[in-house]
Amino acid sequence: MSTASPTDIRIPRDLLPADGRFGCGPSKVRPEAVRALADAAGDYLGTSHRQKGVRSVVGRLRSGLSELFSLPDGYEVVLGNGGTTCFWDAATFCLVERHSQHLSFGEFSSKFAAAVAATPHLDAPEVIESAPGTHPEAVAREGVDLYALTHNETSTGVAMEVRRPAGASGLVAVDATSAAGGLRVDAAEFDCYYFAPQKCFAADGGLWVAACSPAAVERIERLRGSGRWVPAFLDLGIALENSRLDQTYNTPALATLFLFAEQLGWMLHNGGLEWAASRSDRSAATLYGWAERSDYATPFVTDPAQRSHVVGTIDLDARIDAKAMSAALRANGVVDTDSYRKLGRNQVRIGMFPGIDPDDVAALTACIDHVAGALS
């Protein structure tokens, strides 16, 4: 082993990606969007979120997301403050009627199940687990009024197809925090597709968005009238009323809304979800193809059909210390390639959201090879 510190390793400039941000959230914000924000700032930042300027951005977001996801008539885009974690709590009050079923296959998918399990007014949830690096399947059951799926498990790099369990009558609610905008989805297969904009939508965190079917809206409205106590901040009925007016219940981060709308506009302008997902497909083909050819790197997810095209997890063999690898990359301006801390593997994790240039993913693999050579 070399005795030099990993951070002393110098990657030749011609190998480096044009942009070195590969984090899985917050993830790369396109410089063009930041410039557009700076250009608009004088009339936009520091203005009321109840007035036309900000509300028109929220309106653009709501209609743009309907277009991006080809939402059928009657679906509504609802938004509020607090990010996905807040939405889980809101769902325990306003979406789960009594009994939910959860697919649990990593850190994030387990969290919603834990939130429901801790909720005194709900029955204990059914939790179907599978080992990290795989995903389980939902099973239709009588008495389940909400099926909780996760489109992309960010902690492990596993993606699953969004599909209603055959014969199920409950709502299908999908955590799409790291999937929305980068993986294909058919709106007929979900009732609530919720996410936050710090990943594919290349903005900051702190906001949640939910595309809701008429059945989900009906559930929200019915539970609202049921007498169940709901904290106002977590009340999806209040969020729905405000969203219909293109505003949020309390003050949102205006820069986040703007960056989100810019990224969405960029996707729609270039061809929509199919175009955005194709960029992630290209990055994923590059990353997994490289790992499969490598003699020291292996895709963590063994089933190619379950490998995420937006979050790639690559195990390194014992000769290459992944922490040293990420430290060396970081010292060269290539950042946030660390694996998910609680997974505890000798692994790098690579964001491949649509905003990340597929050519930069190719450059990243060359950088990793260079560092691996220097480390071993």
Ligand X SMILES: Cc1ncc(COP(=O)(O)O)c(C=O)c1O
For ligand X, the closer of residues 9 and 78 by Cβ is 78
For ligand X, the closer of residues 337 and 365 by Cβ is 337
Report the nearest approach of ligand X to the CB of residue 25 (Å).
Answer: 5
Nearest to residue 277, comparing CAs of 10, 97, 24, 69? 69
CB-based burial label for 114 (10 Å; 0-12, 13-18, 19+):
middle
Report the nearest approach of ligand X to the CB of residue 79 (Å).
Answer: 12
For ligand X, the closer of residues 154 and 326 by Cβ is 154
d(CA 96, CA 207): 21
Report the nearest approach of ligand X to the CB of residue 119 (Å).
Answer: 17
The H-assigned helical ranges of 211-253 are 214-224, 236-244
For ligand X, the closer of residues 108 and 190 by Cβ is 108
Residue nearest to ligand X (CB): 83
For ligand X, the closer of residues 177 and 286 by Cβ is 177
Report the nearest approach of ligand X to the CB of residue 332 (Å).
Answer: 25
Distances (CA, A) of 303 to 159, 178, 306, 313: 11, 20, 5, 13
For ligand X, the closer of residues 88 and 266 by Cβ is 88
Please report, as ranges, the residues that interact with ligand X according to CB under 6 A: 25, 83-85, 108, 150, 154, 175, 177-178, 196, 205
Q: Which two tokens stand for residue 341?
A: 């801390």
Place of tokens 């925090």: 177
For ligand X, the closer of residues 25 and 181 by Cβ is 25
Report the nearest approach of ligand X to the CB of residue 84 (Å).
Answer: 3
Specify the pairing of strand 146-150 against strand 100-104.
Answer: parallel
Report the nearest approach of ligand X to the CB of residue 229 (Å).
Answer: 23
d(CA 149, CA 102): 6
Q: Which two tokens stand for residue 296?
A: 């020291």
Report the nearest approach of ligand X to the CB of residue 7 (Å).
Answer: 27
d(CA 359, CA 356): 9
Q: Which residues contact 35 (CB under 8 A, 6 or more apart)?
A: none
